[in-house]
Amino acid sequence: MASNPWSRYLTKGLSYKGDIPQRQDFRDLSAEQKYLYTEGLKRFYDPSISNPDDPLSFYQIAVKPDGLQTQLQGHVKAIAEGIDDKDLQKQSYLDLADKFRIPYWDWARTDVQIVPQECLDPNFQWPGPPSSASSQLNTNPLYDYTFPKVAKENVTMVDKNNKQYTTTVRYPDPQSPNDNILYKLTDFYNSPGKERPEYTLPPLIPERNLTERTAYILQAYQTYNAMSNDKYRAGSEKPEDAANWGSLEDIHNAIHNLTGGIGVPNDPNAIVGHMTSVPNSSFDPIFWLHHANIDRLFDIWQALHESDEKEYTYVLEHGAGWGDFVVAPGDKESKLSPLYPFRPTVDRWYNSDDVRRTEDFGYTYPETAGLSYPSTDEQKAVLYKRISQIYDSPPKLIQDSKQNVATAGENLLAQAQLLKDLESQGSAATAQLQDSLISQLPDIATLVYRSLGPTKPYLRDLAPKNKYLEWLINVKAAKHVMDGNYTVHFFLGPQDESRVALWAATPTHVGTFAPLGQRSTTNCKKCQAAQADETQVTGQVPLTLALMERYLAGIAGVNDLTPASIVPYLTNNLRWRVATNDGIVVQDRSQVTNLKVFVVSNEVTLPDDPSALPIYDPKVTIYPEITDGRGEGTGLSAEDLSS
């Protein structure tokens, strides 16, 4: 039989002995694992070891659909094998290298700072190597990637002087090298939290909305189609279809924008960070940690919801849309359709049915290790309890309060106090004010003491008869309009910060919608087709935790979570603003084609068994009166709803 030229590209995953190796959160790796990972990554980058023209080099793999895990492990093993045979630690390093799997970055955790310090500090001091090995880390391989000399400017991007960047960048601000926005955001994202000594400082958790969005998708979303992608489904402004405007893809896009950052405002040559530019994002080392986490969240969702009896919990037959290099537009695709160009053997392609389980590719995750397929009810209960401990969500906080758990709602108190101080001072809602208010916060013990007492609000009172309303913003817009170069920011209250890059660091900011579109000059055929037909995408920003903070703060109007309280409050306080990724405010929001914003509520029933998943009503209620006539017509009106 003649040799098949595709045989060298078989995708089989990584082999292992014993228990299936787990991908772990980067922050949970041991010092020895971090040493192997970072040394292996640096070796992977090295053009003298991994020739940039080699298809298996980091430079080439960064723009290919697969290969990083397999090749990176090879470099990790090379580091372990390079330890002197006489070194007593060598075998333990070899064992760790054999089980190495690329780690993930769980940006939704609230017990640690959002971005690992190792990814923020170019001079981070890594754990020392074994005594007989010499470290190759003259730079931090998680801070940036240095492009090889052969790299072209469409890959590296260029700075404001039209010079190629030699490394990946985040939040580029060349006009103010001593006042870099990245450092301001670093201070904000790494504000006091539980990991601080003795836990005396209050856990102010910025971008908590990422946690709430993640928990809501994992718990409330029942269908694979809605959970997995952000493509707008025509007619879904109707009450029967407006429940599923969020997705993992929507959250994924927000992380890209928040990590890459914007360029310099009013500078025609300004660029965004590499993570904000999709074609260039995979060169940033944090890209791979981010995508490993998306894979993990999908694995968790599958374990909670997928069922052979419920076809809608996995890939359904659908039209191929624009098609691609092997599928014609409109062709039917299903879970049995070939997943080109991946194949397990020389004579067949993978299909979606083949790739349900991560274990088949040689890895698993801490939360899903050992689960059967499909998961049993007992396994789902254990998994729900585990993710509830990782991610704060309204159902968990209310259930804890009902059971008189001492720490119920504790993580909301710092933000509640900050909002109370903001209201009492009547100052401009800026990032600088937030810094000032944070510095004045009392310790956590004082905040807890203030929150106690018979006249204080309790979270359990928000769910009489074990029912309450989740409140969410739905948003949609054309994905590629304005070259995909825009983000929609949402606020509850005034927003007075002039620098767009710092909007997320203001006290009233509650979330973002980032379409992550492409420029009109893109070579992506699918993107070109989407631009031509003005493809729309959707997003969803939960508001319930933000409203619970205001409830605890005693903010006027937020007396409970009923429409009688929340509709007037949101009518007066919900704001949305649009800015380009170059840092320029879009004054006329109607310039964003098909932008539409509205608010929905979803009734949630809390089961008597706190280990059981909350029950989310499949229908939502739309409140056009909150957004009617606002935002240059971008707010949904009653007329829109009836048309």
Q: Tens digits of per-residue pLDDT, 368-398?
A: 999 998 899 999 999 999 999 999 899 999 9
Question: H or E segment at 569?
Answer: helix 563-573
Q: Tens digits of per-residue pLDDT, 586-620?
A: 999 999 999 999 999 999 999 998 888 999 999 99
How far lies 60's CA from each of 47, 147, 150, in Å? 11, 11, 11
Share of the chain above pLDDT 90, in %: 44
- Structure confidence at residue 520 as a pLDDT band (50, 70, 90): confident
* pLDDT at position 191 over 50: no
d(CA 330, CA 323): 7
* pLDDT at position 174 over 70: no
Domain ranges of the chain: 30-102+110-143, 181-198+207-314+356-642
Dihedral sign of CA atoms 569, 572, 573, 577 in order: positive
Q: Specify the pLDDT at position 14.
A: 83
Q: What is the mean pLDDT of residues 188-205?
A: 44
* pLDDT at position 281 over 50: yes
Q: What is the mean pLDDT of residues 305-321?
A: 76
- With b for 16 or more beta-carbon neighbours within 10 A and e for fewer, the 90-118 pattern comes to beebeebbbbbbbbbbbbbbbebbbbbeb
* pLDDT at position 474 over 80: yes
Q: Specify the pLDDT at position 427.
A: 72
- Structure confidence at residue 181 as a pLDDT band (50, 70, 90): very low
Mean pLDDT over the full length of the chain? 84
Pick from 517, 472, 516, 470: nearest CA to 490: 472
Q: Specify the pLDDT at position 53.
A: 86
What type of residue sits at position 581?
N
What is the pTM assigned to this prediction? 0.90
Exposure on the CB side of residue 204, measured as CA atoms within 13 A: 26
Cβ-count burial of 89 within 10 angstroms (0-12 exposed, 13-18 middle, 19+ buried)?
middle
Q: Specify the pLDDT at position 196.
A: 37
Q: Specify the pLDDT at position 507.
A: 85
Give the 3-state secondary structure percentages of the chain, helix then strand then coil, rounded to 5: 40, 10, 50
Q: Tens digits of per-residue pLDDT, 234-279?
A: 766 665 578 899 999 999 999 998 888 766 555 545 567 889 888 8
Dihedral sign of CA atoms 214, 470, 565, 606 in order: negative
- With b for 16 or more beta-carbon neighbours within 10 A and e for fewer, the 45-55 pattern comes to bbbeebeeeee
Three-class SS of 180-243: CHHHHHHHHHCCCCCCCHHHCCCCCCCCHHHHHHHHHHHHHCCCHHHHHCCECCCCCCCCCCCC
According to the per-residue pLDDT averaged within each range, which of 25-29, 170-174, 448-452 is highest? 25-29
d(CA 322, CA 231): 13
Pick from 25, 411, 408: nearest CA to 212: 411
List the structure tokens of 392: 């704060």
